[in-house]
């Protein structure tokens, strides 16, 4: 296993823990929980935050600041997981889709989707 994958695998449980924390806080007090506050504002606000964080991730990548890129990527993943939770889509379902696509050319996979 490449060194990079060994490092990433060591952190695999964080996504499951984060998913559980988001689920727990989702219906909490919006004055005490950012996740609850986002959910109280509705799906459009959550989706907007995913878009904002995606844009900030792109900007950080283009700026070449590794630390900023890591932080923005973490924000993007967090907000995406909040969105998935709000739509009752378990992360396992997304991971299963990635696994299904593994080993398939992105060009071939995209062409196989019905539009």
Q: What is the mean pLDDT of each run of 10 residues along the chain (115 residues)?
A: 47 89 96 98 98 98 96 98 98 94 75 68
Question: What is the spatial distance between Cα 39 and Cα 25, in angstroms, rounded to a whole number?
Answer: 9
In this structure, the number of other CB atoms found within 10 A of the CB of residue 65 comes to 13
The overall pTM is greater than 0.85:
no
3-95, CATH topology level = Helix Hairpins (1.10.287)
What is residue 10's predicted lDDT score, i.e. its pLDDT?
58
- pLDDT at residue 114, rounded to an integer: 65
- pLDDT score at 12: 65
Question: How far is it, in rounded angstroms, from Cα 81 to Cα 66?
Answer: 22
Q: Which pLDDT score, from 0 to 100, does residue 105 have? A: 73
Given this model, what pLDDT does residue 4 score?
45
What pLDDT was estimated at residue 107? 74
Q: What is the 3-state secondary structure (H, E, C) of the chain?
A: CCHHHHHHHCCCHHHHHHHHHHHHHCCCCCCCCHHHHHHHHCHHHHHHHHHHHHHHHHHHHHHCCHHHHHHHHHHHHHHHHHHHHHCCCCHHHHHHHHHHHCCCCHHHHHHHCCC
- What pLDDT score does 8 carry? 52
């Amino acid at each position: 296993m490449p060194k990079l994958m060994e490092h990433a695998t060591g952190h695999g449980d964080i996504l499951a823990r984060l998913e559980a924390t988001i689920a727990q806080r989702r219906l909490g007090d919006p004055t005490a929980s950012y996740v609850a506050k986002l959910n109280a504002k509705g799906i459009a606000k959550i989706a907007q935050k995913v878009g904002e964080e995606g844009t900030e991730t792109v900007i950080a990548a283009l700026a070449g600041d590794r630390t900023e890129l890591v932080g923005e990527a973490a924000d993007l993943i967090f907000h995406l997981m909040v969105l998935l939770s709000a739509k009752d889509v378990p992360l396992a379902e997304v991971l299963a889709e990635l696994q299904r696509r593994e080993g398939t050319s992105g060009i071939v996979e995209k062409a196989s989707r019905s539009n």
